[in-house]
Structure 1
Amino acid sequence: MTGDKQTLARLHAALNSADPELIATTIDEVVAPGARIRTPLPGGVTGGEALKTVFAALYRAYPDLHVAVEDMIAEGDRIVCRNTVTGTHRGEYMGLAPTGRSVTYDEIFVFRFAGGRIVETWGVVDVLAQLRQLGAVPGPPGPDRGVARNTTEH
């Protein structure tokens, strides 16, 4: 595993620890101070502080949050991760009172590295699947998690 992949694996391990101090410390160590986070985020914070804010909110909503890395592909100074995220809605999330429902959703992130640290990210998170599973948006909350899948057999 390359150094950048190890760094990203370390970040995911910290995120899955549910330990706010470990998460914050690891973000400070692996994310460059001026990192450009290109996923739309509320709050007006940037860099590592944006990631800390996002994960603090996610852990308030989903105390058992878990990010499973399904694929990690490295090319040059970039790593792409396809993840499956699970959790149980036990706290306020996007204005929704806790439902006690379990959610499973997909996300894909691209990380750009320089000097062994994350300096830029792009991400797509299936928020629609989350909202459907929480009952906030009509639609099928079933096992497809709102993702179109090819079901044709060859």
Structure 2
Amino acid sequence: MSTAQATSNKAKFGRLHDAANSGDVEVISRTIDEVVAPDVVIRTPLPTDATGAAALKQVWATLLRAFPDLHVAVEDVIAEGDKVVCRNTVTGTHQGEYMGRPPTGRSITYNEILISRFADGRIAETWGIVDVLSQLRQLGAVPEDPGDKVG
């Protein structure tokens, strides 16, 4: 795959991040329709029975209901061949129900690494590592591990 194609894929991935940071579910949904294949294969367990692009739309709607000020800060983006890898820091304030937990008003910060494979100019497959344990600890759903403290 050409360097130009890797650059194009990286730009499309960036459009998805820009949409996510808009905080607007409709903008995110339209952007998913543009840059993600409808039958995208998502290799990350998600709390939904939906599949493909519909699952991504549902995840973003859930996240924005729970964290209306959600922000994805892109730390690193690497594009090579048909893949784009992105390391992000995600922040937000828990203002709506999330994973069965009522709003706490707590601010959260967690990390994620996402890999997207492109085919025919769209994201066709994804893998993600999201620090859900950190999310749950910050929301008080899981106690802090005393072994994590440096003293």
Query: What is the aligned partner in structure 1 of residue 3 from structure 2?
Result: none
TM-score by structure 1 length? 0.89
The runs of 5 or more residues in structure 1 that have no matched partner are 141-145, 147-154
Q: CA RMSD in A?
A: 1.5
Does 1:7 find its partner at 2:7? Answer: no
Query: What is the aligned partner in structure 2 of residue 82 from structure 1?
Result: 87
| 3-state secondary structure, aligned to 1:2 | helix
Higher normalized contact order (CA 8 Å, seq sep 6+, divided by chain length): 2
Query: What is the aligned partner in structure 2 of residue 30 from structure 1?
Result: 35
Rounded Cα–Cα distance in structure 2 between residues aligned with 1:134 and 1:39? 22
Moved over 3 A (4+): none
**Pick from 83, 99, 103: which aligns with 2:104?**
99
Rounded Cα–Cα distance in structure 2 between residues aligned with 1:88 and 1:120? 29
| 3-state secondary structure, aligned to 1:5 | helix
Rounded Cα–Cα distance in structure 2 between residues aligned with 1:60 and 1:19? 11
Which structure is higher in helix share?
2
Q: Letter of the 1:94 partner, please give it.
A: M
Aligned length: 142
| 3-state secondary structure, aligned to 2:143 | coil
| 3-state secondary structure, aligned to 2:75 | strand
Rounded Cα–Cα distance in structure 2 between residues aligned with 1:16 and 1:48? 18
- Give 1:116 deviation, angstroms: 1.2
Query: What is the aligned partner in structure 1 of residue 140 from structure 2?
Result: 135
- Give 1:75 deviation, angstroms: 1.4
Query: What is the aligned partner in structure 1 of residue 60 from structure 2?
Result: 55
Rounded Cα–Cα distance in structure 1 between residues aligned with 2:68 and 2:101? 15
Does 1:109 find its partner at 2:108? Answer: no
Rounded Cα–Cα distance in structure 1 between residues aligned with 2:39 and 2:134? 31
Give aligned-pair identity as a percent: 68
TM-score by structure 2 length? 0.90
The runs of 5 or more residues in structure 2 that have no matched partner are 1-5
